[in-house]
Amino acid sequence: MSPALRKTLFGAAGTGALAIATLMIPELEGVKFEPYRDVAGVLTVCYGHTGADIVPGKRYTQAECKAILDKDLIPFERLVNRSVKVPATEYQKAALNSFSYNVGVSAFERSSLLRKLNAGDYAGACDGLRQWIYAGGKPWKGLMNRRDIEHEVCTWGQK
């Protein structure tokens, strides 16, 4: 994790998991203002947004991308809050918001890391993030980097 991102995330302490995730995800996803196909072949734009509402060939603005991200993250925050049955820090929840945003609802709900967390194995749950580095059956450096950052954030203030 870059020192600048670490400082930003530490500075966000007390603002809540969604606010922290909103600061993390642009760094992890990067931004593309024009739609493209991701490594799995899915039409994507902005900070990893997918969906039928993407207009191929359109150039999105920074403000549009920020608004899309803000809207996209709300269901993932609800998912994490609904799924996590044990006390968790805002940083743990932020890491899980980022993770679930990346892998999707179903994968998050079925993940062994969620089961570990709900069993009280906080370290095991955070470590489990590092297993999710594959796309299209291949390990990806970008996913490895992302999971390392999510793992680090997950361990801050660990119970």
Question: Do the beta carbons of residue 123 and residue 153 sit within 8 Å?
Answer: no
User: Please, what is the angle between helix 90-103 and helix 62-83, to 10°?
Assistant: 110
In the set 27, 29, 77, 150, the catalytic residue is 29
Question: Do the beta carbons of residue 69 and residue 26 sit within 8 Å?
Answer: yes
Residues 93, 112: Cα–Cα separation, whole Å: 16
In the set 27, 34, 38, 53, the catalytic residue is 38
Exposed/middle/buried for 111, CB within 10 Å: 0-12, 13-18, 19+?
Answer: buried
Q: Is 148 a catalytic residue?
A: no
Q: Is 38 a catalytic residue?
A: yes
Q: Which residues are catalytic?
A: 29, 38
